[in-house]
Structure 1
Amino acid sequence: MEDSEIRAALDRHWAASDANDFEAEHRIYREDAVLEYPQSGERIRGRHNIQASRSAQPNKKRFTVRRILGAGDLWITELVLTYDGRPSYTVSIMEFRDGQVARETQYFGDPFEPGSSRVQWVERMS
C-alpha cells in the first residue's frame, strides 16, 4: 500500500472518529489488531473488541487532528481528543501490516499551566 493510500485511510479514520461513526472508524484495523493504553495498563485484542470498547464510552468525544506523520508501516497522529469539553493531548502510534492497523498505542496528556520558572520565555499557544 502506498503512503498516500495510508494517509487517506488515516484521514477517513479520524473523520469517522470525530463523527462517532464507529463502523467507519474501525475499518482501518485488522481483525487481529491490538490497541494499548500504556498509562492505564490496558490492552484490547481484536477489531471487534476495540470497536465495542469505544462504542461503550459514554462521554461526548471530539477529535481534532494537529498533524499526521509517517511512512511505510509506521504512522503517528498528534491530536486533541476532547471528552465532554475537556481536552486531552493525544499521540496515536499506528503500525500497519498489509494496509491495515495491526497495533496502535495511544498516549494521553492533560493540559497544565506553564511553570513559573520559565514564564518569561513562554508564548501562549491557542
Structure 2
Amino acid sequence: MDAESRIRATIEEHWRASERGDVAAEHAVYAADAILDHPQSGERFRGRETIAAQNRHFTVLRITGHARLWVSECVITYDGVPSYSVSVVEFADGQVAHETQYFAGPFGAPAWRAALAEPMPGRTVEEA
C-alpha cells in the first residue's frame, strides 16, 4: 500500500471510530503534539489528549485529498441540531499534525434561487 492509500485508510478509520464512539481509536490518528483549530470560535486545542477530551462525533459525507493534505465533509450534531463541518487535515509522519475545522449550521435557500438550483439528495432545509 502506498503512502497516500495509507493516509486515506487512516482518515477513514478515524471517522468510522468517531461514528461508533470509539474515542481511543478515533484519536490514535493524532500526533501527541497535534493542533486542532476552530477559527469560528477562535479556539486552539493542543495535544492528542486535549483534542480527545472534546468527545465529538461526526457523520462523514465525503473525504478527498492528496499527499499530506486531506479534507473531510461531515455533519456534527450538537443538542439535536446538525451543523455541517469541513475538516482540513495536514499529515506529518503518518499522523495528523494540524487540523482546522469549519462549522456552519443549515440555512434555507432564498426563494429567488429556486429556478437556478435543485435540491441536494438527502438534504432538506426550510425556506429562508
Q: Secondary structure at the match of 1:120?
A: coil
Q: Which runs of 5+ in 1 are unaligned?
A: none
Determine the structure 2 residue equivalent to 1:7. Answer: 8
The answer as to 2:26 corresponding to 1:25 is yes
CA RMSD of aligned residues (A): 1.4
After TM superposition, the structure 1 = structure 2 runs for residues 34-113 of structure 1, keeping only pairs within 5 Å, are 34-52=35-53, 54-55=54-55, 61=57, 63-113=58-108
The TM-score, its normalising length taken from structure 2, stands at 0.87
Q: How many residues are aligned here?
A: 120
Determine the structure 1 residue equivalent to 2:126. Answer: none
Paired with 1:44 and 1:116, the residues of 2 have a C-alpha distance of 40
Paired with 2:80 and 2:9, the residues of 1 have a C-alpha distance of 27
CA drift of 1:80 comes to 1.5
Paired with 2:119 and 2:65, the residues of 1 have a C-alpha distance of 28
Q: Secondary structure at the match of 1:8?
A: helix
The TM-score, its normalising length taken from structure 1, stands at 0.88
Identity %: 52
Higher relative contact order (CA 8 A, sep 6+): 1
Paired with 1:95 and 1:31, the residues of 2 have a C-alpha distance of 14
User: Which amino acid is the alignment partner of residue 12 of structure 1?
Assistant: E
Deviation digits for residues 36-58 of structure 1, max 9, x if unmatched? 00000000011111112x13x6x
User: Which amino acid is the alignment partner of residue 66 of structure 2?
Assistant: A
Paired with 1:104 and 1:9, the residues of 2 have a C-alpha distance of 14
Q: Secondary structure at the match of 2:70?
A: strand
Paired with 1:95 and 1:78, the residues of 2 have a C-alpha distance of 15
Q: Which runs of 5+ in 2 are unaligned?
A: 123-128
